[in-house]
Amino acid sequence: MKTVFKFNFILLVLMATLLGMSACNQVQKMEEQKTDNDKESVLQTADQLLAGYSAAVCYSGFRTGQHPDRGAGAVNPSYEEIYEDLQLLTAKTPFRLIRLYDCEENSQMVLEVIRQYDLDFKVMLGIWLRAELSAHETCEWLTEPIPQQVLDENKLKNTAEIAKGIELANIYKDIIVAVNVGNEALVEWNDHMVDTDSIITYVKRVQENIEQPVTVADNYKWWADHGKELAKAVDFVSIHVYPIWENKDIDEAMAYSIENVLEVMQALPEAEIVISEAGWATTASEFGERASEAKQTIYTEALLKWADRNNITTFIFEAFDEDWKGNPNDPLGAEKHWGVFKVDRSPKQVVNLLESMSVKPKNPIPNE
């Protein structure tokens, strides 16, 4: 895939400023007004979409009482629960491309379910990287240095995780369309930092052993400010965009999101872009009234219409609320409430929108 980076900057900024509380109608109006001459404003071409889809979703199936391994073992969803989730996504959403975050038992089971039932899903597989550096001076919830012994053990675990990711990518070539090495492991504010040079080495190791494209997912600002060398190594750049985390309300959320994407594109003009996380919390003690189901619906519609117009695969974060996340003493914490479905699998308001959206890919890839 080769980047076609042609756009009319003034048109995009103008479009961005129009999107807000009435984003749905505004996006539709602008689409109707476009002429053939406006096609130069499209940021990417259809062949740059993953599996042909602009709309995608992040998926972790952990329900109440379940969680990944936090040091004492994981409590994973059952095979039947994963199948139920995927059937729900099929029936109620346009999402046929999902993002998984690691190569552990839960993710392996998702791949097994998709194959066993011949479900219409493609996957961007994650390789989870644990901390190889101690970010205790920059991560607010790390109160003391990570012991060197733990960091050394993590390097061994990362090596094993990479090997498993390579194995799965080769076993499930018909399902896995891309592999992501590390999630927010580069930003200084997180607790599982890995050196950029190490991640480049890991990316190359994976590329040498699989056929699918390889990426790294991190905050848009890290990519814009520090991502030049890594961008040369990956097959495409995966960015995270969260206007609500940056104190934006819905009236400026879409404009700010577009600014974020353009900032990365201007810093990395040769890179192909995927938005690997973007979403809107529906409940959040941190955000107050900025979090709501109505605002999630507005932002999701505006973002997905823009992503489809510009051929940018965009993973909505996320499919289901996960109540294991964040502060266990704060049930209203934002980390628990990003899903388009609640943790009990009941739909939020945005699902009414999603049910009406098309699932047809622009450039479908054949099963092997």
pLDDT in tens, 101-131: 999 999 999 999 999 999 999 999 999 999 8
Rounded CA-CA distance 221/186 in Å is 11
366 DSSP assignment: P
pLDDT of residue 3: 39
The residue ranges of the chain whose pLDDT is under 70 are 1-40, 134, 139, 189, 364-368
Dihedral pair phi/psi, residue 216, rounded to 5°: -135, 135
- Asked if residues 350 and 300 have their Cβ atoms less than 8 Å apart, the reply is yes
CATH 3.40.47.40, applies to 9-355: no
CA distances from 120 to 113, 211, 255 (A): 11, 21, 33
- In the three-class reduction of DSSP (H, G, I as helix; E, B as strand; rest coil), residue 125 is classed as strand
pLDDT of residue 14: 41
Q: What is the pTM of this model?
A: 0.89
Rounded CA-CA distance 302/310 in Å is 12
CB atoms within 10 A of CB 133: 15
pLDDT of residue 16: 44
pLDDT of residue 365: 55
- Which runs of E-coded beta strand occur in 202-326? 214-219, 237-241, 273-278, 314-316
Rounded CA-CA distance 226/215 in Å is 15
Burial class (CB within 10 angstroms; exposed 0-12, middle 13-18, buried 19+) of 147:
exposed
pLDDT of residue 111: 98
pLDDT in tens, 204-220: 999 999 999 999 999 99
pLDDT in tens, 124-159: 999 999 988 868 777 677 789 999 999 999 999 999
Tokens of 110: 């998702």
- In the three-class reduction of DSSP (H, G, I as helix; E, B as strand; rest coil), residue 319 is classed as coil
Tokens of 165: 């990711």
Mean pLDDT across the chain: 89
- Asked if residues 341 and 319 have their Cβ atoms less than 8 Å apart, the reply is yes
pLDDT of residue 191: 80
- Asked if residues 72 and 26 have their Cβ atoms less than 8 Å apart, the reply is no
- Asked if residues 299 and 348 have their Cβ atoms less than 8 Å apart, the reply is no
Ramachandran assignment for 94, one of left (phi > 0), alpha (psi -120 to 50 degrees), beta (any other)? alpha
pLDDT of residue 71: 72
Torsion on CA atoms 342, 348, 353, 358, rounded to nearest 10 = 20
